[in-house]
Amino acid sequence: MVAALRCVIVRDLRLAARRSSDVMTVVLFFVIVVSLFPLGIGAEPKLLRTVAPGVLWVAALLASMLALGRMFAADHADGTLEQMMLGATPLGLVVAARVFAHWLVSGLPLVLISPVLALQFDLSQELLGVVVLSLALGTPVLSLIGAIGAALTLGLRGAGTLLSLLVLPLYVPVLIIGAGAAEAAASGLGGHAQLLLLGAMLIFAGAFAPWAAAVALRISVE
Amino acid sequence: MSINWFKYSSPQTFFPLAGRLALGFGALAVLACAAGLYLGFFVAPTDAQQGESYRIIFIHVPAAWMSMFLYVVMAFWAGLGLAFNTRLSGMMASAIAPTGALFTFIALWTGSLWGKPAWGTWWVWDARLTSELILLFLYFGFMALQAAIDDPRRADKAGALLALVGVVNVPIIYFSVKWWNTLHQGASVSLTKAPTMAATMLAGMLVMSFAFWFYSIAAVLLRARCIMLERERSSDWAAQYARGAA
């Protein structure tokens, strides 16, 4: 079973490597959206420092949502998904492996590039660490919740906009706690509580979301 | 004699029952609404601090209760449909969604009408307002998903899963938003301590919430009847009904 899951992850990563422009599009979207904010609200350093964590979080949330559509669509179109469902490995575990692989190519790059963007907002060193850590804990939760939405909207008309309507309200707690971590750290309270909560959300979503997504896939494909 | 527990689980037998129940509950809703509004507007005293504007609570509070309660009921039917694969459960869940969304919208709207004189602003980013707004989005998501799927069986199941995921999320959303920011007054009515309002105000509010309950039951059953007719249009009983009605 472990071998099968490793095979799924390696396959997804290889597919992503062959179409690296897809990965780059998400990262570029993230960078551009973040860069638009100073242009829209003004480049006053004090203001930018205050809004930086929220801006980074909202942009990361939108960018990872943009990538969700690709999670199952191509495999659904060419029938690979049905073979995965017929296979001996439990579908929930396969979904978990795929979500992990998807996060590696769509969530992790955002986490890695976020310190550079945070510097544009003149964020201090210790806050920078909190923001990166909160994104590292939070973006996998976004991918896990998003997998349910992606599975539900598989093959529907206007799946992209529908997906955002389904998934964004469910993202709210992650956004609040995630952006709150840096805010609490900035106000001197320390962001530990929020980071622990994000970790709890990650464990909770990691335990249940793949199974819900597996049920959703069976509904969509049957 | 054994009771057939599943007698009303088929659209054919439930359809006439739903019609009779809808009529009864509709009549009760009109009566309770008249009584509740009379209590609210003519009997209940003017509030010492807020003047007459507080009277919006006779609509606002019951609507807010119903909006949350209906989501749970919707998730209950959705779960039942997923677990037992019954046709009627999915129809009930999709019949509840628009009424739930309506009450969520009414709660938000009346809340902002009250907020202007009381807080001096139409909208604040407070825990309850924000989570009510997100609840409205959840209802919209449910309805949009069902509307996008042509096959009714898939629409029922997909909506059911979304409703269940949503119902797990609602408390998480509520507590995260509450922790994020709060300004709303504490709950005026709770089961654990004595209410902080006059007895007539409380009576008016309770009668109004019964009115909203009855209205919801009647509206949901009427909508369920339409869904049943639409989905079962090829069956004999639906054709018979259509002939009789024409």
Chain B positions touching A153 (Cβ under 8 A) are 145, 148
DSSP assignment, residue B2? -
A108-122, A136-150, B132-146, B190-204: lowest mean pLDDT where?
Answer: B190-204
Give yes or no for a contact between A220 and A150, defined as CB atoms under 8 angstroms apart: no
Going by pLDDT thresholds of 50, 70 and 90, the confidence category of residue B171 is: confident
Q: Is residue B8 part of a domain?
A: no
- This model of the complex carries an ipTM of 0.87
Residue whose tokens read 């990166």: A132
Q: Is residue B12 part of a domain?
A: no
Chain A positions touching B177 (Cβ under 8 A) are 172-173, 176
Whether B166 and A170 lie within 8 Å, measured CB to CB: yes
B162/chain A closest Cα distance in angstroms: 8
Residue B1: the pLDDT is 58
Structural domains of chain B, count: 1
A4-8, A25-29, B42-46, B135-139: lowest mean pLDDT where?
Answer: B42-46
Chain B positions touching A65 (Cβ under 8 A) are none
Closest by alpha carbon to A28, among A84, A55, A67, A2?
Answer: A67
Give yes or no for a contact between A210 and A147, defined as CB atoms under 8 angstroms apart: yes
Question: Chain B: which residues have CB within 8 Å of chain A?
Answer: 82, 134, 137-138, 140-141, 144-145, 148-149, 154, 157-158, 161-162, 164-166, 168-169, 172-173, 176-177, 179-180
Whether B134 and A169 lie within 8 Å, measured CB to CB: yes
B92-101, B129-138, B208-217: lowest mean pLDDT where?
Answer: B129-138
Whether B148 and A165 lie within 8 Å, measured CB to CB: no
Residue B187: the pLDDT is 54
- Does residue A222 belong to the interface with chain B, where contact is any CB pair within 8 Å? yes
List chain A residues with pLDDT less than 50.
Answer: none
Q: Give the DSSP H/E element, type plus range, for residue B209.
A: helix B199-231
Q: Is residue B1 part of a domain?
A: no
Neighbouring-strand partners of residue B51 = B47
DSSP assignment, residue B186? P
For A173, which of B144, B149, B176 is closest by C-beta distance?
A: B176
A72-76, B135-139, B170-174: lowest mean pLDDT where?
Answer: B170-174
Higher pLDDT, B129 or A56: A56
The first and second tokens of residue B174, run together, are 């509520």
> Domain of B46?
17-186+195-245
Residue A210: the pLDDT is 95
Q: Is residue B11 part of a domain?
A: no
The first and second tokens of residue A23, run together, are 């990965």
Q: Is residue B48 part of a domain?
A: yes
Per domain, the residue ranges of chain A are 2-221
Give per-residue pLDDT as tens, A89-111: 899 999 999 999 999 999 999 99
pLDDT at residue B183 is higher than 60: no
